[in-house]
Chains A and B, each alone.
Chain A
Amino acid sequence: MNRNLIRYAALAAVVVLGACSEKQLVVPNQNQGDTKRVLGTPQDAENLLGTYFKRWHSGVYGSTTDVEGMANVMSVMNYSSLANNCQNSHYPFVGSTNFNAPGNTCQGEQFRLYSYMSEVNRVASNVLNQMADSGLTIGNTTPATDAQNVRAQAFAEFLRGISLGYLAMMHDSAAITSPNMSKEAKDCVPDPFTSVCVGALRGYKEVFDSAMVAFQRSLDYANKTGLTGTNGLANPGLPTTWIPSPTVFTTPEFVKLIRSYRARIRANVARTPAERAAVDWSAEIADAQNGITADHLLTMSTTAGPANSWRQQYDAFSTWHQMPAFVIGMADTSGAYAAWIAQPIGERGAGKTPFFMVTPDLRFPQGGTRAAQQADFAASSCAGASQTCKRYFVNRASGSDNFDGNGWGWSNYDFVRFHSWVLKGDGTARNGNTVSFTKAELDMLQAEGLYRQGNFAAAGALVNKTRVANGGLAPITVFDATTPVPGGSRACVPKVPVAPFNVIGCGNLWEALKYEKRIETAYTHFAPWYLDMRGWGDLPADTPLFWAVPFQELQARGTAISSVYGAGIGTGNAPGSTAAKGTYGW
């Protein structure tokens, strides 16, 4: 009996173990899809592509963990006494440095924009590549209509343009993944583990050129005529979730948006005044003239995206977005700016005196005293839903000044232009429509082009648009490169430091243009002052002009960190990569 039992038991064991086949160990991941499932149907493929403007937006504005905070501090738009976001290690005048050593305290910030833009470029390129080579169809019909395919292609090239463009603006080099990369051996640098082509690192000018090509392809697709089928750009336009906005992006509106971004990137990729001057200003004027005709609004959603963490953060307490006097002081008509400029920089703010000014510019609080300015406008007056702040800047509530850090950073003024959106938006916090691209920015790009081409009158007319309507300032009437703006030495706006840079003088049309653009674009998009001041030569001396390829990327490529940044690991500022003392002598 025992032997029989043993036999039966042994047989049972064999049966049980035999049942334990390899197949039983196959377990799907039902939490996260892979490429096959994400592109499982034409509609899924289209949906994936359609989410990537939000992804791009998240990479640029979705987190304060990126380089914008540093850039804003470096361009004296913003002053923060906090170490958060590496702001206080990026002050000008005290050795602003872009670190790139492994483990540096800014490593997360430095990598975000780079990695997001690279991802957007890759996904858009992959979709285009598969549509061209692998028969990927897009949309909710099979086969997709020509119109729907072309809409996807236009959008994908637009994504490539804005992602490559932002890489070119901020980083010294990047990889260019393109729809036909697999066909171009020189670009096909294989990833060591996946063997997928990832592209060689190319200088920012090549990256910029590729962005421009992508924009043009996007325009070509968008303007393509004679397409058959439904769901195209002409009708009904981009699905509303692709670029959430009150604007319906049919062909004309989408073309305007493409040309607006192309204009922003074309002008702002320049590192130096020489490069800015060499911009194709004719093309720039053409794009600006055919770009958005009103402020471009995005519809924000904290749950479905896009979300703008920066805009929220710049409405935080005074330690986050105090505005130093360097630029806003140009609006002063009380003499305070002159006195401030006259002091050595280390003594500005002495005696715990934050900068106070009086200005006729209606974008600032009005009044001759702090109390009067506080009475004129308080942020609480535009805290409700759909309320508009009547000023862009506020003289903060008494007692909320912050005297930490450097004295030159202290002023009474905070930025509050979008305060009601931050608090309430269209009914709920930080949701709803908000400005993403101002018409004024585009006007000023056009104005700059016209000015550089010598068409001072046309440029001046554009400057006067916001100068008068928004600022309430006296219009410029003499259009040339030298005549001071109206108002005389006391009342003119703007005033600028002039040699030997401890005194001020009235600005001219050029300075009025720059002043207008700064005031109108402050905190409205990614690093607005930094990008312009870099090309205008207005950055404080020794300010880094770009960010290196993040060390994480270099390590992944097996490239020595020091070989890209020139001056050794961690020091950040390679020779020739920092600003010279410029226009204002700081």
Chain B
Amino acid sequence: MTTMNRMNRARAVAAGLLGVLLTLPSAKAQAQSAVITGKVTSEFNQPVDAANVYINDLTISVVTNAQGVYTITIPAARATGQQVNLRVRAIGYQPGLRPIRVTVGSQTQDFALKQDVNRLNEVVVTGSMEATPRANVPFAVGRLTSEDIPVPALDPITALQGKVAGVRIAAISGQPGSQPEILLRGPTSINAAGRSQGPLIIVDGLQLTSGTLTDLGGLDIESVEVVKGAAGASLYGTKAASGVITIKTKRGANQEGVKFNIRSEYGFSDLNSLSYGQPTNHTLQLDETGKRFCVSGTANTAPCSQTVDWMQEILRINNVNADTVRTARNIQYNSLSNADGTLQNVYQAQIWPGQYYNTFAQVSTRAPSFLNSIDATGKAGSTKFYVSGSNTDNHGAIKQLTGQQEQRARVNLDYEARSNLLFTISTMYDKSTTDTHGAAFGTLLRGAPAGTNYLAVDTLGREIVKGGGANLRGTDNGAAGFLYDSQNSMSERGATRFIGSINANYFPAEWITFEGNFAYDTRTQNNNGANYKGYRTLTVSSANNFGNASVSNLFRETYNGSLTATLRKQLTSDLSGKLQFQGLFDQDYQINNSAAGQQFVVKDIYTLSNTTTNITANSSWQLDKDLGAFVGGSADYKGRYIIDGTFRYDGSSRFGEGNRWAPFGRISGVWRISEEPFWHTSKISDFRVRASRGSAGNTPRFNAQYETYACGATGCSLGQAGNKKLKPETTTEVELGTDFTLFNRLGVELTHATSDTKNQILPVPTISSLGFTSQWQNAGTLSNNTWEAGLTLPVINRKDLSWSMKGTWDRTRTYVTQLFFPEYYDNGGTGQGTGSIFLITARTDKQDGVPVNRFGNIWGRKFYKTCGDLPASVQGQCGAGKAYQVNDQGWLVWVGDGNTWKDGITKNLWQTKLPAAQSPWNYPLFFGMPIVDRPLRGQPNEGIGALHILGNTLPDFRMTFNNTVQYKRLTLYGLLDGTFGHKINNQGEGWGILDFASGYFDQASRSVETAKPVGYSWRAGPPEGVGVGGFYDILNPNNYNTESGSYAKLREVSLTYRIGALRGIGGDWTLGVIGRNLATFTHYSGYDPEVGVSGGNSNSGLINQVDAFDFPTLRTFTFNISTRF
């Protein structure tokens, strides 16, 4: 069957099913009824909106309105005077229960609900065999409902940001349409290349394996639940070692009729800051007027005999009707050092003549952002429905880029075919267009001269393509014009997606339930890119000047299903039991095709058939299948002791013959201590302890089991040796926790989890003469140790004023505890500079006070900062009046006896050095220069900078804090989210040093004592480099460019005013303003500490904490209006 046939058939089935269900006859209303009305309020007499009032025996359920009022109408035929329990549940409140008698006529039943501070009465579905109150769940489950998300996110995962302990989510790219990075508790894979470090995500029963999370939207979300580790996630088997996130979308209301919600949000997004540490001064040579630059001398021309105006020269070289610019005049500049390495007196201290331009400000804009949505929810006969549609436009904040536009529709139906047979159907269709231009932030941050007006256009009306670089200054970085690219090229992604799932629940008897589930997801994606014919470059480029085009298409289809039987038995009056059997399957199928060509025949036609050379094509195919069988059981004794145990046996096609199947399981229990008869104190309530030990797995990348040859146009070459004996990485986690409420006010949740992920799937290098370079093997263990705490404090709870605070804190330490092949250095996901940033080792010794096997340690060189850093034999020469002193920037430098670090200019000492023969390191020391730690003369490895642990990319701890204050109709919400104690390798600063584009070394306001020549920052000395010291260090991490990444962000703020019904219009109107990412509090010197590089072997930007010119994060500020009727 072809792919399209398969897709069409699935769509046809789903559409047909929907049609049938919508036309089914509804039950007819009865003339005579029993009518129960009432009002649900809090204990402080506040009406409780959206409380669920229900009678299980009659399978009737309704929801309160904004005034807390409900009405239940029962047909006369069912109102026989029988006694039933009328129950009320509302989020944040303890449930209410009242026995009533059902008779024809009206009766009133009001409820005043007590607050459920820890929300233990909420029902959760993740990790348990079936829906269970959190109080009875033996492991931590984070849960959010739409009420907890007052600031709608563009996707349901970002909505979790800062709200659940142990959940780390960061938008490491601000580009519209980009994915957030997720890490629950800690990493479970040392090497996740080609697979995921994140959790298993399930949406309405669909295992999400493809697409972007933004496809799902944020407004259709009813609840998001998080189980953070294997102790809870063992139920999900071979894919759940990194935890599980379950998303449920909104369902139809229980009441007949239709209710509409309309929301419109309009505002803008922009950059958080226009300051990125750029220098305002330069090192080039000016003439005596200080306004023109000296042209470099040649054999026949003396330097400075000719001068140019900077911008006139930039425009001159751009103003040419050709594919390349004219050759620029070479601006005179002085080399940093003399031939023998001593420094020249060159200072980055000259103000740009003419106008100064902030290139970041030039490229950014305040772009519109809007979201419009409408949904309808209600019930028609036996069918409940939720229908929604939305349209979003997020332009981003970069000129000429169009961001992402997305349209989405959802239809969710619940059809009660019989009193014991319920069908639940969820469908979604999404269509998006995304501008995938990356914009050249490297160019922006790496030396775009402050004197260049990048908004200038040449005489032909074109953006400039060269604004600096070679011939105009010392390095070529920063040469290109960044706006030209987006103006003269195309880069876009179009995607469509359909998700559908159907769930059938059959309750043939009280003691047994059958459930069948099938979910289907298909996504098509088309990427189109082109450089237009006539595309200008700095030098001749046949690949670009005549244009080029590339296309790639992705088709991906996944589905999963399960059959479940759940048996319940009240074994004694105090003891109930439950057994569950389940069979599961899933499949993921994808095809990727791509092609590219160069040199268009005809202008403005962007097809590959219009290209003539270097036409290439690629395709790939992948199929994954999983099967599973599950059995679980639980017992509840007196509602105080709950234990459960599960066993799952999973098979996966990602493993070789004989090793495809693996077992996973859990044993866990809860003791609800405060339910014990002996528990009399009211100071501590809802007290329970919980313990769980469970296991779950990670599968390898698709091709890990296979022996591979890389075959292409150039022929074949050996790839990796196959390994059919691979086993899953298996995480075994022990989670212990407790929850309680103090004084009925302060809710506390504490959790401690330890996990070992054994059988780490790692690419073990093979002996070269085998021919294959590596083989994936089970070769190590990664361990996590986590503490989590959550606090909830309703500070004020009065009729007109309420104030509640919530906070979370968590910390995780991750260690490599076993490695079955030699330790090795791993990369940080970027090219130059971070190839060896991490050491993967199981050694437990310490260096710099840190265990060397701590995962995420950044390794690099260290410049001395204090006398105590020096080797003991040298420390005596350090201090005031001595040869080694700490300068004004906190770096320890050599000054020579009798001098101070301030004497560089006044005594002309910058050009002096201590020869190697006199240096304790057998390496020359240059006056005033930072000194890198290296072995002393005669010690092993003499001459080579020593590697140190400079910090860790994984944080010491995280904290979040949010407040909700409601005064009458006014509600203010704010969320502060902080990550502390981790380090970032600021690679952008490394490049900035190389290109004299770091504000840290700008000498604008320095005195003769504090001014530093440019070589002070530029380039490490030999053998690592050719400079005389300095911090550049070939982009490698060092203790200058590796800095604290601690930050707190004002993540979300909203202020809403509920107007209520408008005269003559009706509805229930609310106005509000929303801010996202409004402020960042940090000492980090880069643009934004919420950074990271996707990819690399860890495959997580939250581990690869390298700042390498990513698309900057955006803030948004929007006004919204909504109503419901």
Q: Which residues of A contact B (CB under 8 A)?
A: 2, 5-6, 9-10, 12-13, 16-17, 20, 22, 24-27, 29-35, 38, 47-48, 50-52, 54-55, 58, 81, 83-84, 88-89, 91, 94-97, 99, 102-105, 107-108, 114-115, 118-119, 121-123, 126, 174-177, 189, 191, 193-194, 196, 198-199, 302-306, 317, 346-350, 352, 356, 369-371, 383, 397-400, 403-408, 423, 428-429, 552-553, 555-558, 568-571
Given the contacts A194-B770, A369-B299, A555-B822, A89 and B652 also touching, CB distance less than 8 Å:
no
Given the contacts A102-B824, A369-B299, A404-B1026, A108 and B835 also touching, CB distance less than 8 Å:
yes
B651 CB contact (under 8 Å) in A22, A108, A177, A408:
A22
Question: 1/0 per residue B761-787: CB within 8 Å of A?
Answer: 000111111110101010000000000
B768 CB contact (under 8 Å) in A10, A118, A405:
A118
Binds A, one of B394-402, B664-672, B716-724: B716-724
Asked if B266 lies at the interface with its beta carbon under 8 angstroms from chain A, I say no
Q: Please give 9 more A-B residue pairs, beta carbons under 8 A apart, in addition to A2-B509, A177-B769.
A: A6-B514, A27-B653, A29-B706, A31-B622, A51-B715, A83-B1025, A105-B1024, A191-B766, A306-B714
In contact, B714 and A2 (Cβ under 8 angstroms):
no
In contact, A48 and B300 (Cβ under 8 angstroms):
no
A50 CB contact (under 8 Å) in B706, B715, B942:
B715
In contact, B767 and A175 (Cβ under 8 angstroms):
yes
In contact, B839 and A103 (Cβ under 8 angstroms):
yes
B471 CB contact (under 8 Å) in A12, A48, A399:
A399
Binds A, one of B624-632, B751-759, B1114-1122: B624-632
In contact, A54 and B714 (Cβ under 8 angstroms):
yes
Asked if B340 lies at the interface with its beta carbon under 8 angstroms from chain A, I say yes
In contact, A352 and B335 (Cβ under 8 angstroms):
yes
In contact, B1022 and A27 (Cβ under 8 angstroms):
no
Asked if B194 lies at the interface with its beta carbon under 8 angstroms from chain A, I say no
In contact, A553 and B1026 (Cβ under 8 angstroms):
no
A553 CB contact (under 8 Å) in B474, B767, B777, B836:
B767
Binds A, one of B84-92, B445-453, B612-620, B689-697: B612-620
In contact, A371 and B300 (Cβ under 8 angstroms):
yes
In contact, B300 and A51 (Cβ under 8 angstroms):
no
Most buried by B among A38, A397, A405, A428: A405
In contact, A123 and B771 (Cβ under 8 angstroms):
yes
Q: Complex formed: what's the CA distance from A52 to B766 in Å?
A: 20
List which B565-585 residues lie within 8 A (CB) of chain A: 565, 581, 583, 585
In contact, B767 and A407 (Cβ under 8 angstroms):
no
Q: Complex formed: what's the CA distance from A277 to B825 in Å?
A: 42
Closest to B924 in A: A94
B contact residues around A55 at 8 Å (CB)? 714-715, 717
A contact residues around B777 at 8 Å (CB)? 193
Q: Complex formed: what's the CA distance from A349 to B660 in Å?
A: 67
Q: Complex formed: what's the CA distance from A175 to B823 in Å?
A: 23
In contact, A369 and B822 (Cβ under 8 angstroms):
no
Q: Which 5 A-B pairs have the closest CB atoms?
A: A51-B715, A407-B339, A399-B330, A103-B825, A370-B299
Asked if B623 lies at the interface with its beta carbon under 8 angstroms from chain A, I say yes
A contact residues around B765 at 8 Å (CB)? 552-553, 555-556
In contact, A32 and B703 (Cβ under 8 angstroms):
yes
Asked if B460 lies at the interface with its beta carbon under 8 angstroms from chain A, I say no
In contact, A194 and B766 (Cβ under 8 angstroms):
yes
In contact, B713 and A305 (Cβ under 8 angstroms):
yes
Q: Complex formed: what's the CA distance from A38 to B711 in Å?
A: 9
A115 CB contact (under 8 Å) in B512, B626, B768:
B768
Q: Which residues of B contact A (CB under 8 A)?
A: 295-296, 298-301, 327, 329-330, 334-336, 338-341, 470-471, 474, 476, 506, 508-509, 512, 514, 540, 542-543, 563, 565, 581, 583, 585, 613-614, 616, 620-627, 629, 651-653, 657, 660, 702-703, 706-711, 713-719, 721-723, 764-771, 773, 775, 777, 821-825, 832, 835-836, 839, 859, 940-944, 947, 1022-1026, 1034-1036
**Minimum CB–CB distance for A346 against chain B, Å:** 4
Q: Complex formed: what's the CA distance from A105 to B1036 in Å?
A: 9
A89 CB contact (under 8 Å) in B716, B723, B941, B1024:
B1024
**Minimum CB–CB distance for B84 against chain A, Å:** 23
Given the contacts A25-B625, A32-B719, A193 and B329 also touching, CB distance less than 8 Å:
no
Given the contacts A13-B583, A423-B540, A34 and B769 also touching, CB distance less than 8 Å:
no
Q: Complex formed: what's the CA distance from A176 to B767 in Å?
A: 12
In contact, A102 and B825 (Cβ under 8 angstroms):
yes
Q: Enumerate 15 A-B pairs (CB-CB under 8 Å) in ascending A order.
A: A6-B512, A13-B583, A16-B583, A22-B651, A47-B715, A47-B716, A50-B715, A103-B824, A107-B836, A118-B769, A123-B771, A350-B339, A398-B299, A399-B471, A404-B474
B contact residues around A94 at 8 Å (CB)? 1022-1023, 1026
In contact, A33 and B1026 (Cβ under 8 angstroms):
no
Closest to A174 in B: B769
Q: Complex formed: what's the CA distance from A89 to B660 in Å?
A: 49
B contact residues around A399 at 8 Å (CB)? 295-296, 298, 329-330, 471
Q: Complex formed: what's the CA distance from A94 to B1023 in Å?
A: 7
Closest to B1033 in A: A83
Q: Complex formed: what's the CA distance from A398 to B942 in Å?
A: 42
**Minimum CB–CB distance for A300 against chain B, Å:** 11
Closest to B944 in A: A570
In contact, B335 and A404 (Cβ under 8 angstroms):
yes
Given the contacts A175-B768, A191-B767, A407-B338, A89 and B1022 also touching, CB distance less than 8 Å:
yes
A contact residues around B623 at 8 Å (CB)? 27
A contact residues around B506 at 8 Å (CB)? 5, 9
B contact residues around A303 at 8 Å (CB)? 614, 616, 713-714
**Minimum CB–CB distance for B1091 against chain A, Å:** 23
Q: Complex formed: what's the CA distance from A118 to B624 in Å?
A: 34
**Minimum CB–CB distance for B581 against chain A, Å:** 8
In contact, A48 and B715 (Cβ under 8 angstroms):
yes
A contact residues around B299 at 8 Å (CB)? 356, 369-371, 398
In contact, A317 and B715 (Cβ under 8 angstroms):
no
Q: Complex formed: what's the CA distance from A16 to B565 in Å?
A: 14
B718 CB contact (under 8 Å) in A16, A123, A406:
A123
Q: Complex formed: what's the CA distance from A302 to B821 in Å?
A: 37
Q: Complex formed: what's the CA distance from A97 to B335 in Å?
A: 26
B contact residues around A198 at 8 Å (CB)? 767, 769-770
In contact, A34 and B714 (Cβ under 8 angstroms):
no
Q: Complex formed: what's the CA distance from A569 to B722 in Å?
A: 32
In contact, B621 and A91 (Cβ under 8 angstroms):
no
Q: Complex formed: what's the CA distance from A569 to B942 in Å?
A: 11
In contact, A126 and B770 (Cβ under 8 angstroms):
no
B contact residues around A108 at 8 Å (CB)? 835
Q: Complex formed: what's the CA distance from A428 to B825 in Å?
A: 40
**Minimum CB–CB distance for B763 against chain A, Å:** 12
A429 CB contact (under 8 Å) in B335, B542, B767:
B542
In contact, B563 and A89 (Cβ under 8 angstroms):
no
B contact residues around A34 at 8 Å (CB)? 706-709, 722
A contact residues around B711 at 8 Å (CB)? 32-33, 38
Given the contacts A29-B703, A114-B768, A95 and B338 also touching, CB distance less than 8 Å:
no
Closest to A50 in B: B715
B contact residues around A51 at 8 Å (CB)? 714-717
In contact, A88 and B1026 (Cβ under 8 angstroms):
yes
Closest to A305 in B: B714
A contact residues around B330 at 8 Å (CB)? 398-400
In contact, B583 and A568 (Cβ under 8 angstroms):
no
Q: Complex formed: what's the CA distance from A25 to B339 in Å?
A: 67
Most buried by A among B583, B660, B764, B770: B770
**Minimum CB–CB distance for B713 against chain A, Å:** 5
Q: Complex formed: what's the CA distance from A302 to B543 in Å?
A: 12
A5 CB contact (under 8 Å) in B508, B764, B1022, B1036:
B508
Q: Complex formed: what's the CA distance from A12 to B773 in Å?
A: 48
Q: Complex formed: what's the CA distance from A104 to B940 in Å?
A: 16
A contact residues around B768 at 8 Å (CB)? 114-115, 118-119, 175, 553, 556
Q: Complex formed: what's the CA distance from A107 to B765 in Å?
A: 14
Q: Complex formed: what's the CA distance from A557 to B822 in Å?
A: 10
In contact, A196 and B625 (Cβ under 8 angstroms):
no
